[in-house]
Structure 1
Amino acid sequence: MLLRKTIAGIHPRLAVVAHDMLMVWLTWTAVSMLRWSLAPNPSPVSLFGHEVWLVLAAQGLIFWWTGLYRGLWRFASMPDIWNIFRACLLGAFAVAITLFVYNRLVTVPRTVLLVYPLVLAVLLGVPRLAYRYWKDSRLDFVTRAPSQRILVLGAGKAGDALVRDLRRENRYTPVGFLDDNVQLRGSRLHGIPVLGTLDQLPQLARETAAEMLVIAMPAANKVQMRRAVDLCEECNLPFRTVPRLEDVVAGRSSFNELKEVAIEDLLGREQVQLDWTAIRTRLAGKRVLVSGGGGSIGSELCRQVARLGAESLTVLELSEYNLYMIEQELRRDYPDLLFNAWLGDCGDAMTCARVFEQARPQVVFHAAAYKHVPLLQGQVREAFRNNVLGTKALAEAADAHGADSFVLISTDKAVNPTSVMGACKRVAELFCQNFARQSHTRFITVRFGNVLDSAGSVVPRFREQIRAGGPVTVTHPEITRYFMTIPEACQLILQASVLGNGGEIFALDMGEPVKIRDLAEQMIRLAGKHESGDIPIIYTGLRPGEKLFEELFHPHEQYTDTAHAKIFLAQPRSMAWNLLTTQLRQGELAVRDFDEGMLRRILDQLLPEFASDGTPSDGVVVAFGSR
């Protein structure tokens, strides 16, 4: 049994060696005979003389040395063909040296040595490619199942690579490309024609009997992506897309993976260009603390800080489950990172002091906060305790232990706040701005709007409602919000932390506001449904504390450009330090006594623009392009 297995295992390899040696013998004798036949006095060519055996030995050693027999004919490809050509050239050189030593090349015409490697490369390469073609064709015939006819939108590198991979799977039959580059019209990629432009999609989909559409434009901006999706929806055919380039680079997706179009693909923005050298210089080798490091923004900050080579990372997190999840992920992906997991409340001054004593962080990112506007309207004590006093406790610990910088993650709801959540975040901004003048620590505030797919946000809520069959609830037909992705927001936070010297408020360019009604309609259509009949949209009215429009700057905050095109600097509004600290001490007493009436009065006194009764306000929209 063992002998039979051994023979079975080596037999195919011996057959390959025998084939190659036969081709060497055939090439050498054929080329030699042809050359001598052209001579006036031809010499007889011995079919099995000493010269032939020396050629076989020399060429065989070169085949072995170049690893020609490590490859499999079943998967022969261009690298294998190149290796064969290299082996033939080196073999001709080895044969020439061997025969020179043997008989000074007396019986070998020089033209034989020139023609021999070319003919041998053809005789070795063609059978390998033919064998692979035969195996592929035979496998296709045996396993072929009904495959979907697909049209590919985009005839660039992504479309080319996608079709090459899809044809191997036998589940799809690409029938054509569509591309707006008119110069590609009539050309072919892998034998598949470029049929026309994207605007011709509905017509060409019918003519080619396409069963599925694939958008192969990973670098497309949101306008191009929306146009492609609208055209696909017009065809009433299922459609898929390839991952975005940033998802491939970050390892979240493989390049040619087909996936359903997500709302993030349509709200995506141009990739952020960052000064990674400055960011890495500021964070590499530093001890970093992230509060709320298990949340949506905090966990992504942890990943990026770990990727940038921090000496140690400490996460202070109130949620046991979130802390466990981020700890497991970072210990798996960054085993060399010194990671400290602290379960605790940043509003507990003793916890903050102990964390700083043991971790000695140099850079602090404060992402811990309560953020749900309607819920916090009736929870003034908890909103003030966590969002204001938690920031104060962590900031004072950073100052007391000599941290280099403290970055407060804020929100657009802190501008002209109409909600308790926004008002508390605005007070936290005021504290950090004014505390910066009393401290050697750089206190920087970064303000931005909604992030896509964060916990409890509108996108996952709509997704659940659509999955349940509806209805989808929208508060107001005209309500708008700014959106950006979590990775983009965190990258801009890191960039802003490098730009600031202390006391600044940086606002991130959120792009154009998105109507929540349009967002809901698009998500319903992406799910293959229609808002008119399948899943209705119901308008429930603005909730307490909710704005119709969000703002990133207060009208009295003069803002200027910074070194980064997507980050703007708001001029801070100063406040008497004694007044601020007095009000916060009263707030601490009110939190202790559970006096929510006093907390509302404190918010009113610190923020004249805040209506503590939660009356919705349309706000004043401040455009980034205006001055």
Structure 2
Amino acid sequence: MREFNVMSKKISTFFESRTNIQTLLKVILDTLALALAYTIAFGLRFDLSLPHEQYFVIFKHTIGIAVILELFFINILGVNQSQWEYASIQDIINLFVALLAGWLGFIIYLYFANLLAVPRSVLFFFLILGFIFTGALRFMPRIFFKLQSSLASNKKRVAVIGAGKAGEMIIRQMKNDPTLGFYPVALIDDAQKKQNTKIHGVKVLGKVKDLPQIVRQKHVDEIIIATPSASVQEMRRIVQLCEDTGVDFKTVPGPKEIVNGLVQVQQIRDVKVEDLLDRVPIEIDLNQVREYLQGKTILVTGAAGSIGSELVKQSLKLNPEKVVCVDRSENSLFYLDNDLKQAYDTASYRIVVADILDLPKMKYILNTYRPEVVFHAAAYKHVPLMEYHPEEAVRNNILGTANLVQLCEQHGVEKFVLISTDKAVNPTSVMGATKRVAELVMQSYSAKSSMKLATVRFGNVLASYGSVIPLFQKQIAEGGPITITHPEMKRFFMTIPEAVKLIFQA
């Protein structure tokens, strides 16, 4: 009775696993397919009529061994470990190798069992039919999903620009997974040799210049730009044509964002301003910076802002002892904390809600964490707003900086870096003037302090809070007009990662 209970429990545990049930189902289906292949092989040998009694006896004695040997090699070589929903050419090659090994094993068995009376044509038909039937089983789920996708009316009809590796990956995922909600209807590529060719059943219908016409003809709902290595000029041309169509468009990530060379549908995003930046992003060697910051405690004020948050993230990559993230916006700190939890050990950073104007709190923070390096990014930066509230700009940008520098010197900070702005040069605004005074505070302390002080000035940082680009995007989305201070004005931009690397260089 006890043995029966143990056996019953093992059987129950086996069937509780979905993987085990799927494997068992695959074995059953392969068994039926191989048994049918062997039966038909005998039928073809005898013109689909009942074979002579002698051959019928041989059939009964060999069908079980033939199927078992094939199943043995299919499973021992791990063919059934792959998911049938995503069967590929490599899976079919592996299947054929396993069937061939089982087939040769069956011939060897017939030789030693003295059953050579099995007709050679039966053996040949068994191998071919067994491969066809078991291969068909593995492609049936893919065919079903593709049929389901083509019949679905609620999916977005997608045109993919780029018939290269990225485009192939995107289309394959859309075809294999109907739940993504995309139905690729057209490929577009400028290469002449790719015209009228197909990738996973999707035809290259023309070049990029033909995009508006293709969108109309195929009733495209969304365009996906799958050209991660395109130049800035080429990207601008594609984006302009996409805008002319009036339909939504997105892009795959650039080469640096792609993990292991694989493009995922989930990575598709809106086109960023950085994608259209008319220069190669500046790369800075951070080895010397890593040597200096490694093992040190870093404090970042304004840590929840666009520059501050990127400072925190890049600092954590340089193996510091700890990064202390100070900001008075608890909502922004909450989102920063969520981002950091996904990528870094929570012991490597601390989230602190505090105002740099709160001297007792800042003393407590400096006493508790004893930072060696301070990046001071906390500041008011909106030029028009500060014109209406100059007293706040003075308090935060000037007094806040002066108090923090003094406290840091008292608490043995080695290096203090102020993040300033190009508007501090011959300032014409309250914000620019307060930042210039903050720079002068730094200069006055550097003349008499043992602490090293440095100031970094930025122009316009793309996608940072308060940058003009988000304002322009909002104005365009609302139908305009775009407001600028002067028709002949020029602006010079850098990306947030570039800005942070320049801070490190200081």
Per-residue deviation, residues 462-503 of structure 1 (Å, max 9, x unmatched): 455566666654443333333333344334433x24xxxxxx
Counterpart position of 1:415 = 425
Q: Does 1:323 find its partner at 2:316?
A: no
- Deviation at residue 16 of structure 1 after TM alignment: 0.9
TM-score normalised by length of structure 1: 0.62
- Deviation at residue 241 of structure 1 after TM alignment: 1.9
User: Structure 1 residues 79 and 274, CA, compared in 2 at 3 Å: closer, same or farther?
Assistant: farther
User: Structure 1 residues 126 and 412, CA, compared in 2 at 3 Å: closer, same or farther?
Assistant: same
Q: Using the TM superposition, name which of 414-423 and 392-401 deviates more.
A: 392-401
The equivalent position to 1:19 in structure 2, one of 32, 42, 57, is 32
Q: Does 1:81 find its partner at 2:81?
A: no
What is the one-letter code of the residue matched to 1:176? L
Counterpart position of 1:159 = 167
The equivalent position to 1:122 in structure 2, one of 124, 127, 131, is 131
Give 3-state SS (helix, strand or coil) of 2:58's partner. Answer: coil
Task: Report the RMSD for the aligned CA atoms in angstroms.
Answer: 4.5
Cα distance in structure 2, aligned partners of 1:403 and 1:153: 53
Per-residue deviation, residues 163-192 of structure 1 (Å, max 9, x unmatched): 33344547434233132x444445443344
Counterpart position of 1:139 = 148
Cα distance in structure 1, aligned partners of 2:408 and 2:41: 81
- Deviation at residue 225 of structure 1 after TM alignment: 2.4
Higher helix share: 2
The equivalent position to 2:246 in structure 1, one of 237, 247, 253, is 237
Give 3-state SS (helix, strand or coil) of 2:374's partner. Answer: strand
Contiguous gaps of at least 5 residues in structure 1: 34-42, 498-627
User: Structure 1 residues 282 and 22, CA, compared in 2 at 3 Å: closer, same or farther?
Assistant: farther
- Deviation at residue 207 of structure 1 after TM alignment: 6.5
The correspondence of residues 475-554 of structure 1 with structure 2, limited to 5 A, is 475-494=485-504, 496-497=505-506
- Deviation at residue 459 of structure 1 after TM alignment: 3.7
- Deviation at residue 295 of structure 1 after TM alignment: 1.5
Q: Using the TM superposition, name which of 357-366 and 474-483 deviates more.
A: 474-483
Per-residue deviation, residues 82-123 of structure 1 (Å, max 9, x unmatched): 4423433554676688789x66x99699x99x9899747733
User: Structure 1 residues 30 and 463, CA, compared in 2 at 3 Å: closer, same or farther?
Assistant: same
Does the 8 Å CA contact 2:74/2:98 hold for their aligned counterparts?
A: yes
User: Structure 1 residues 460 and 206, CA, compared in 2 at 3 Å: closer, same or farther?
Assistant: closer
User: Structure 1 residues 272 and 392, CA, compared in 2 at 3 Å: closer, same or farther?
Assistant: same
What is the one-letter code of the residue matched to 2:58? L
Per-residue deviation, residues 509-531 of structure 1 (Å, max 9, x unmatched): xxxxxxxxxxxxxxxxxxxxxxx
User: Structure 1 residues 175 and 396, CA, compared in 2 at 3 Å: closer, same or farther?
Assistant: same
- Deviation at residue 308 of structure 1 after TM alignment: 4.1
- Deviation at residue 260 of structure 1 after TM alignment: 4.7
- Deviation at residue 18 of structure 1 after TM alignment: 1.9
User: Structure 1 residues 469 and 201, CA, compared in 2 at 3 Å: closer, same or farther?
Assistant: closer
Counterpart position of 1:214 = 224
Q: Using the TM superposition, name which of 13-22 and 45-54 deviates more.
A: 45-54
User: Structure 1 residues 445 and 200, CA, compared in 2 at 3 Å: closer, same or farther?
Assistant: same
Cα distance in structure 2, aligned partners of 1:157 and 1:18: 38
Give 3-state SS (helix, strand or coil) of 1:337's partner. Answer: helix
Q: Does 1:453 find its partner at 2:466?
A: no
Does the 8 Å CA contact 2:316/2:348 hold for their aligned counterparts?
A: no
Counterpart position of 1:583 = none
Q: Percent identity?
A: 35
- Deviation at residue 219 of structure 1 after TM alignment: 3.7
Q: Does 1:63 find its partner at 2:74?
A: yes
The equivalent position to 2:392 in structure 1, one of 382, 387, 391, is 382
Give 3-state SS (helix, strand or coil) of 1:342's partner. Answer: strand
Counterpart position of 2:308 = 298
Cα distance in structure 1, aligned partners of 2:203 and 2:331: 53
How many corresponding residue pairs?
474
What is the one-letter code of the residue matched to 1:76? A
Give 3-state SS (helix, strand or coil) of 1:481's partner. Answer: coil
TM-score normalised by length of structure 2: 0.75
